[in-house]
Amino acid sequence: MQGTLFGQAPFSKALYLDPPEQIASIATEDSVYYLDVLSSPPPLYEYVHKMAITDLEAAFISESVVSNGARVSVSIGSGNQSMAISDDAVFFVGNIDNGQVNDIDGYFLKKSKQGDSLWLKSFGGIYNDRFYGIDFLNDSTLIVHGDHGTLSPGEEKVWVMALDLEGNILWERFYAGEYGLIRSRDLAVLENGNVVIVYRECLSYQSCGSGIDKRLRLLCIDPDGNELWTSTIGEYYLSGAQTENVIELDNSQLLVSFFREIGQGVRRAPVLLWVSPEGEVLQQYDFEFVSLGNYISDLFLTEAGNIIGVGASNTYLGEDFYGGVGWVFSMTQSGELNWERMYLDNSGGLHLGVLNCGIETEDGGLIFGGFLEDTILLQQTAWLLKLDSAGCYHPNCEEGLQFVDVEEVAAPPSSVSTYRVYPNPISGGAVLQLEALVDMPRAARAQWMDAYGRHLAEHALDPLPLQNIPVGDWPPGVYFLRLMEESGRALQVLRVLVE
């Protein structure tokens, strides 16, 4: 196992640009990092578009914000796909919420490399139309993809546009849609000039519940937008995290990330699919399911030809650690795992880490963007994590979890472990045990929330070392138990998996 390599000094930086925020895409050019940041700063906490620039050691250089009088946001979808860089400009795509029900449009934004906004153009109809990703089709043409007609009474479509560098439409096409709900996920421009798009399809217009057939599909089009083939490469029972990415390998095969379901989809483990240039699945690699779940959010190739995957793992490591951490793996293009590691920057009282995107650096190392979260205050800050090419933050690292604060490898700060709950996972309608790990527990109330932060139930607590908390008859999924003082100040947020 090699340690930190010469010229590849690792670092971990919480940027604190204007929380809450997270990095959606990252690129490097001219010895700086360009960051596309999802941000909703105070006092309104409404989404704005933020471009940030740092040097190669993550020292802040500048940032620029666009709001346009509306909620302007990048889509946190799969992959490092919301930004593209030319010789003299940076292009972004995302969504504008005009404040009306079902009235979201896709936007196309051009900025100078110094962050000056040159123009912002929006596209869409009377329903929700979203842009997710952008790439260069050639030196003078950009291609974007998204969903068209989401939540409309008609057909939903995969939406693809080719535009020149001034935002003029060269062609626009719509695909699929004859079967039901559509969610476009990622695109890749191939060496031969064709484009592949991976998307989900739910075979119903009315709903996409657990009883409805769903499938993962690949669409291939030529540079003029003509459909060449469409292939079904996977099926699933329950909708889950946005985990689909697609890249081209050196032998012209396609690599797609997805998940396999354990049971009826409550638990998901990542998979990689090798797909022929004609859309046939050739090979599958199954990652192990990790405790409360792990997923892939981005894929890319290094100069040496290795596959790098990045994402997050909600993990439990005995009594040492429980929570969300960044997850990175390296693999050969034939499917042999080189290494996989997990990371958490716990040096500033931050208790959760998620990685959304990554690239290879100019010195041959790896850098990733995402966010760190204070789970007490429910506050997110942008996170940049630099590793050497062996995936090491600390020299001569081993497999497993790497803490940034090497003195605290035993556990996160004590405020995180004031309480614990069990059993976890638990069945809906059962009773959860809440155990205080301190002599004088301070929580007076417990509030249940779903994965979207919606309030479900609330219970009064006694200052006892062990007490029961009922679990509602809720659908399977991840839920949050927020423990609060009588004043309403949050003390701790615990994740609970309901099976």
Domain match, 43 and 192 both? yes
Out of 384, 408, 432, a domain closes at: 408
Domain match, 16 and 165 both? yes
Nearest to 245 by CA among 284, 273, 281: 273
Predicted local distance difference test score (pLDDT) of residue 111: 96
Establish if 3 belongs to a structural domain: no
Establish if 188 belongs to a structural domain: yes
262's tokens? 């354990």
Domain match, 179 and 46 both? yes
Domain match, 309 and 441 both? no
The CATH code of the domain that includes 230 is 2.130.10.10
Establish if 4 belongs to a structural domain: no
Domain match, 486 and 355 both? no
Domain match, 107 and 150 both? yes
Domain match, 285 and 218 both? yes
Domain match, 375 and 444 both? no
Predicted local distance difference test score (pLDDT) of residue 416: 42
d(CA 405, CA 193): 46
The CATH code of the domain that includes 465 is 2.60.40.1930
Predicted local distance difference test score (pLDDT) of residue 135: 97
Predicted local distance difference test score (pLDDT) of residue 2: 36
Establish if 422 belongs to a structural domain: yes
Establish if 304 belongs to a structural domain: yes
Domain match, 382 and 234 both? yes
Establish if 6 belongs to a structural domain: no
Establish if 377 belongs to a structural domain: yes
User: What is the domain extent for residue 426?
Assistant: 418-498
Domain match, 448 and 324 both? no
Mapping DSSP onto H, E and C, the string for the chain reads CCCCCCCCCCEEEECCCCCCEEEEEEEEECCEEEEEEEECCCCCCCCEEEEEEEECCCCEEEEEEECCCCEEECCCCCCCCCEEECCCEEEEEEEEECCCCCCEEEEEEEEECCCCEEEEEEECCCCEEEEEEEEEEECCEEEEEEEEEECCCCCCEEEEEEEECCCCEEEEEEECCCCCEEEEEEEEECCCCCEEEEEEEECCCCCCCCCCCEEEEEEEECCCCCEEEEEEEEEECCCCCCCCEEEECCCCCEEEEEEEEECCCCEEEEEEEEECCCCCEEEEEECCCCCCCEEEEEEEECCCCCEEEEEEEEEEECCCEEEEEEEEEEECCCCCEEEEEEEECCCCCCCEEEEEEEEECCCCCEEEEEEEEECCCCEEEEEEEEECCCCCCCCCCCCEEEECCHHHCCCCCHHHHCEEEECCCECCCCEEEEEECCCCCCCCEEEEECCCCCEEEEEECCCCCEEEEECCCCCCEEEEEEEECCCCCEEEEEEEEEC
Out of 408, 436, 453, a domain closes at: 408
d(CA 412, CA 415): 8
Domain match, 334 and 477 both? no
Average pLDDT by consecutive 10-residue portion of the chain (499 residues)?
52 86 92 91 75 93 81 74 95 84 83 94 86 95 91 80 97 83 92 96 69 85 98 82 89 95 72 97 90 84 96 63 79 95 78 90 93 78 93 80 51 51 87 88 85 74 90 82 78 79
How many domains is the chain built from? 2
Out of 348, 374, 408, a domain closes at: 408
Predicted local distance difference test score (pLDDT) of residue 170: 98
Domain match, 453 and 399 both? no
Establish if 413 belongs to a structural domain: no
Predicted local distance difference test score (pLDDT) of residue 118: 95
Q: What's at 197, amino acid-wise?
A: I
Predicted local distance difference test score (pLDDT) of residue 73: 76
